[in-house]
């Protein structure tokens, strides 16, 4: 996997919200000599993080860092994957925006957002310059959170960059896993396409961006081919040699709120800035390579 080879001196990454994607980045950087710390809400997860080589700190809604200055001391890079809270904005900035602004020697601060901020374009393409037309509550909160993070750059010089992610998949969280668990669905909504990205490409793209920081910018981290969810599940079923689930008509009331929100908007997201400007070479340009690699890695 890609390492930040343009940054010969490994630094210290502090992660607010040590989840699935952040964990992949942590593993990548630690393999190249980085120190990594991160936050979790529970002592049980803190034990798992320490076993993984990550220094844990407790943080969550109503639970700020006990000693933010000590926790953030020496951080050269900060990443937040914490979603905004209903009615209270971005919880990281609400509790520790001023602390982040005081970190000496900070070279990069990344915020993981979502391509949901673009809203519905009726299937047309969007890029980082497209207007933000989020309509659902989750998307509107993300738009507001992006604005808060970019204000930290404009007003206080914190080297913030925004990363907009589509549907994330990878080992343990893929259509292959859903088929095995019996939770896979194939929703029939003709013409409705999704962007997606393999978790390893999130880690690789972030690592390269950390080596080539451009404060104040936005980056779509998506693969090359928007595709329908039904097609992706069908391909995963072929890889496994099983029958795909039958197509089910699109009925919002029959879907979970999260799934229904994905189908509320239809857009295709360009990755020209990621591939041509940043120069990132996707490990998995489409879902086909990503799913096939997952199955191959299982032996």
- Taking only the tens of pLDDT, the chain with its 299 residues reads 444 445 546 999 999 999 999 999 999 999 999 999 999 999 999 999 999 999 999 999 889 999 999 999 999 999 999 999 887 789 999 999 999 999 999 999 999 999 999 999 999 999 999 999 998 888 999 999 999 999 999 999 999 999 999 999 999 999 999 999 999 999 999 999 999 999 999 999 999 999 999 999 999 999 999 999 999 999 999 999 999 999 999 887 777 777 777 788 999 999 999 999 999 999 999 999 999 999 999 98
For the domain covering 12-167+197-223+268-283, report its CATH number. Answer: 3.40.50.720
Q: Which helix (H) or strand (E) holds 105?
A: none
Question: Tell me, what's the pLDDT at 252?
Answer: 79
Q: Please state whether the predicted TM-score (pTM) of the whole model is above 0.85.
A: yes
Report H helices in the chain: 20-30, 43-51, 68-72, 91-101, 137-156, 175-181, 199-211, 229-240, 257-264, 272, 287-297
Question: Edge-to-edge strand order for the sheet containing 218-220?
Answer: 55-58, 35-40, 12-16, 77-80, 108-114, 160-165, 218-220
Can you give the residue ranges of every domain in the chain? 12-167+197-223+268-283
Helix 287-297 and helix 229-240, axial crossing angle in degrees, nearest 10: 30
Check: CB of residue 267 under 8 Å from CB of residue 120. yes
Compute the Cα dihedral for 23, 27, 30, 32 and give only its sign: negative
């Amino acid at each position: 996997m890609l390492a930040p080879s343009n940054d010969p001196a490994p630094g210290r990454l502090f992660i607010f919200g040590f989840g699935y994607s952040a964990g992949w980045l942590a593993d990548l950087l630690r393999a190249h000599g980085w120190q990594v710390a991160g936050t979790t809400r529970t002592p049980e997860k803190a034990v798992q993080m320490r076993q993984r080589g990550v220094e844990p700190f407790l943080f969550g809604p109503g639970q700020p860092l006990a000693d933010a200055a000590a926790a953030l001391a020496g951080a050269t890079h900060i990443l937040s994957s914490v979603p905004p809270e209903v009615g209270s904005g971005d919880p990281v900035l609400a509790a520790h925006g001023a602390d982040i602004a005081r970190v000496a020697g900070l070279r990069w601060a990344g915020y993981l957002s979502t391509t949901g901020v673009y809203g519905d374009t009726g299937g047309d393409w969007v890029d980082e310059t497209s207007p933000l037309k989020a309509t659902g509550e989750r998307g509107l909160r993300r738009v507001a959170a992006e604005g808060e993070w970019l204000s930290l750059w404009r007003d206080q010089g914190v080297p913030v960059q925004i990363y907009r992610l589509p549907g994330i998949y990878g080992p343990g969280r893929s259509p292959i896993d859903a088929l095995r668990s019996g939770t896979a669905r194939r929703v029939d909504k003709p013409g409705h396409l999704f962007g997606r990205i393999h978790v390893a490409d999130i880690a690789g793209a972030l690592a390269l961006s950390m080596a080539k920081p451009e404060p104040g910018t936005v980056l779509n981290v998506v693969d090359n081919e928007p595709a329908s969810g039904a097609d992706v599940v069908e391909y995963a079923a072929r890889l496994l040699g099983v029958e795909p689930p039958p197509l089910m008509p699109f009925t919002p009331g029959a879907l979970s709120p999260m799934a229904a929100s994905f189908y509320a908007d239809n857009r295709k997201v360009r990755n020209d800035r990621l591939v041509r400007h940043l120069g990132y070479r996707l490990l998995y340009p489409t879902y086909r390579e990503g799913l096939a690699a997952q199955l191959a890695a299982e032996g």
